[in-house]
């Protein structure tokens, strides 16, 4: 809007443009070169609370993101993990407008993308939040821009009060496409179809403490040090019979993008098959190793290719054994990839 206003002033009204104004215009335009040059993937995210029902029937308050159509529309559904932010091939700019309906300030960062961060500091200079924040009930969106998006699987999350907000559910996947049929600019990353698995976990006691205002200094739960997750998820769902992820046709090269939003590492096994690890942390691996267990660091991402799987359901499980739902056995980070 500001650029537009200046341009209008320059080219329609002013008789002899002031040199200072020119300098300002050039400076502003150079700042916005990338957004002007390429199509920008633009998302209106809203952080808000919602309720998830655990497989045991327990209801847990979570904090998630919703994808709204515009700021203030509040027409998106709040989910954990948050909506997938997908960038089409060639799109190198990601813009997120943040709306905050939570009781505390929230911010956004994308792990795997370099962007200018504006930390929020305490009066004594210590950093309190890693990026500029949207205050509760903000009337204007807070906008974050990345102009250097490279192909890959990345993770966005809150950059404020991380020990609470990330485990409350403020995270999601960023998927930047390379070109048709390739995850990266490498030959082994070519694929026929793709699946996204976002791993998560919930400590219901900590959620309860945060939701009921019993978390913080001087309150019943003073910190997240006693974090003990009891529910484990793939794409926001614990395993329940009948759950599967459509993966592709038998024999296809299937790309599995894995985002680990758990606060601990996970070790995914794909039915004991070897998979090809073609990406790590949003960057390609030049010599993809073969593994029958895929290590994903806490907050990390991996891209793997499953080659020539036969028709049927390929079980996927976490060898770190996040395989339970509360006291219930046989659930958690377990699903089937369906090849049909």
Partner 1 sequence: MRVRQIFQFTYCLALTFLLVGLLSEGPAQATIQGISGISFTLVAAPGYIKTPEGNSIFFWGLGSDVNHVQYPGPTLILNEGDTITITLYSALPQPVSLVFPGQEQVQAQGGSQGKVTREATPGRPVTYTFVAAHPGTYLYYSGTNMALQHEMGLFGAIIVRPAGFDPNAPTAYGTSDSRYDREYLFMISEMDPDIHRLVEEGRYSEIENADVFPTYYFINGRNAPDTMAPAFAEWLPTQPYNCMPLMHPGERLLMRIIGAGRDNHPYHFHGNHAKVIAEDGRLLSSGPGKGADLGYSRFTISAVPGHTYDAIFQWTGREMGWDYYGHTSLSDPIERGELAVTATLEAPLSAGSAQVTLGGQGEKEFPMYREVRCLIWSKAYPSPDKDPNREVVKVKRASGNLFTISRGLEGTTARAWSEGDYVAITDHGRPFPVVLPENQNLTFGAFYSGSPYLGNAGNLPPGEGGLNPFSGFFYMWHSHNEKELLNNNIFPGGAMTMLGILPYNAPIE
Q: Is 232 in the site for partner 1 (CB under 8 A)?
A: yes
Q: Is 319 in the site for partner 1 (CB under 8 A)?
A: yes
Q: Is 326 in the site for partner 1 (CB under 8 A)?
A: yes
Q: Is 329 in the site for partner 1 (CB under 8 A)?
A: yes
Peptide bond into 43 cis (omega under 30): no
Q: Which residue, 283 or 295, is less far from partner 1 as judged by CB?
A: 295
For 169, the token pair is 């559910």
Out of 274, 308, 311, 312, point to the residue binding partner 1 (CB under 8 A).
274
Out of 172, 188, 229, 281, point to the residue binding partner 1 (CB under 8 A).
229
CA distance 140 to 160: 19
CA distances from 326 to 56, 185, 199, 229, 329 (A): 7, 42, 16, 9, 8
Furthest-apart CA pair in the chain: how many Å? 77
Beta bridge partners of 291: 275
What is the DSSP track for 178-214?
A: -BTTBSSSSGGGB-SEEEEEEEEEE-HHHHHHHHTT-
Q: Is 293 in the site for partner 1 (CB under 8 A)?
A: yes
- Using the contact rule CB under 8 A, the part of the chain among 48-56, 100-108, 192-200, 229-237 near partner 1 is 229-237
Residue 292 CB, nearest approach to partner 1 (Å): 4
Size of the site for partner 1 (CB under 8 A): 32
CA distance 297 to 225: 19
Out of 34, 237, 269, 283, point to the residue binding partner 1 (CB under 8 A).
269
CB 60 within 8 A of CB 336: no
For 120, the token pair is 């929020």
Q: Which residue, 46 or 230, is less far from partner 1 as judged by CB?
A: 230
Out of 86, 265, 307, 338, point to the residue binding partner 1 (CB under 8 A).
265
Q: Is 271 in the site for partner 1 (CB under 8 A)?
A: yes
For 64, the token pair is 């998630």
Residue 50 CB, nearest approach to partner 1 (Å): 23
Q: Is 29 in the site for partner 1 (CB under 8 A)?
A: no
For 258, the token pair is 């894995």
Residue 208 CB, nearest approach to partner 1 (Å): 16
Residue 105 CB, nearest approach to partner 1 (Å): 31
Q: What is the DSSP letter of 226?
A: G
CA distance 173 to 85: 6
Q: Which residue, 38 or 243, is less far from partner 1 as judged by CB?
A: 243
Nearest to residue 74, comparing CAs of 47, 106, 95? 47
CA distances from 272 to 250, 256, 299 (A): 17, 15, 24
Q: Is 320 in the site for partner 1 (CB under 8 A)?
A: yes
Out of 292, 298, 311, 312, point to the residue binding partner 1 (CB under 8 A).
292
Q: Is 332 in the site for partner 1 (CB under 8 A)?
A: yes
Q: Is 227 in the site for partner 1 (CB under 8 A)?
A: no
CB 254 within 8 A of CB 247: yes
- Using the contact rule CB under 8 A, the part of the chain among 69-77, 131-139, 148-156, 330-338 near partner 1 is 330-338
Q: Is 58 in the site for partner 1 (CB under 8 A)?
A: no
CA distance 149 to 151: 7
CA distance 285 to 185: 10
Out of 216, 291, 307, 338, point to the residue binding partner 1 (CB under 8 A).
291
Q: Is 321 in the site for partner 1 (CB under 8 A)?
A: yes
Q: Is 233 in the site for partner 1 (CB under 8 A)?
A: no
Residues lying near partner 1 in the complex (CB under 8 A) are found at 228-232, 265, 267, 269, 271-272, 274, 287, 289-293, 295, 315, 317, 319-324, 326-327, 329-330, 332, 334
């Amino acid at each position: 809007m500001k650029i537009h206003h200046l341009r209008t002033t320059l080219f329609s009204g002013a008789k002899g443009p002031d040199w200072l104004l020119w300098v300002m215009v050039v400076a502003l335009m150079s700042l916005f070169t990338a957004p002007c040059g390429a199509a920008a993937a633009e998302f209106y995210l809203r952080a808000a609370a919602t309720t998830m029902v655990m497989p045991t029937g327990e209801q847990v308050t979570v904090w998630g993101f919703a994808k709204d159509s515009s700021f203030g529309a509040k027409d998106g559904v709040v989910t954990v993990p948050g909506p997938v932010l997908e960038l089409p091939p060639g799109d190198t700019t990601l813009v997120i407008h943040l709306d905050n309906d939570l009781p505390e300030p929230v911010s956004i960062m994308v792990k795997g993308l370099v962007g200018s961060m504006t930390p929020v500091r305490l009066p004594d200079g210590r950093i309190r939040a890693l990026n500029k924040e949207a205050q509760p009930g903000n009337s204007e969106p807070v906008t974050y821009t990345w102009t250097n998006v490279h192909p890959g699987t990345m993770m966005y999350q809150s950059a404020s009060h991380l020990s609470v907000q990330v485990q409350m559910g403020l995270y999601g996947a960023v998927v930047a496409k390379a070109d048709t049929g390739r995850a990266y600019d490498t030959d082994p990353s070519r694929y026929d179809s793709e699946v996204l698995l976002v791993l998560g976990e919930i400590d219901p006691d900590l959620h309860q403490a945060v939701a009921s205002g019993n978390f913080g200094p001087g309150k019943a739960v003073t910190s997240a040090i006693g974090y003990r997750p009891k529910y484990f998820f793939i794409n926001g769902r614990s395993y329940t019979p009948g759950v599967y992820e459509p993966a592709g046709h038998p024999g296809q090269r299937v790309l599995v993008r894995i985002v680990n939003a758990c606060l601990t590492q996970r070790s995914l096994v794909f039915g004991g098959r070897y998979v090809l690890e073609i990406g790590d942390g949003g960057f390609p691996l030049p010599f993809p190793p073969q593994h029958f267990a895929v290590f994903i660091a806490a907050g990390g991402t991996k891209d793997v290719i499953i080659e020539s799987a036969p028709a049927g359901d390929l079980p996927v499980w976490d060898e770190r054994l996040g395989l339970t739902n509360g006291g219930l056995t046989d659930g958690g980070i377990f699903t089937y990839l369906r090849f049909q």
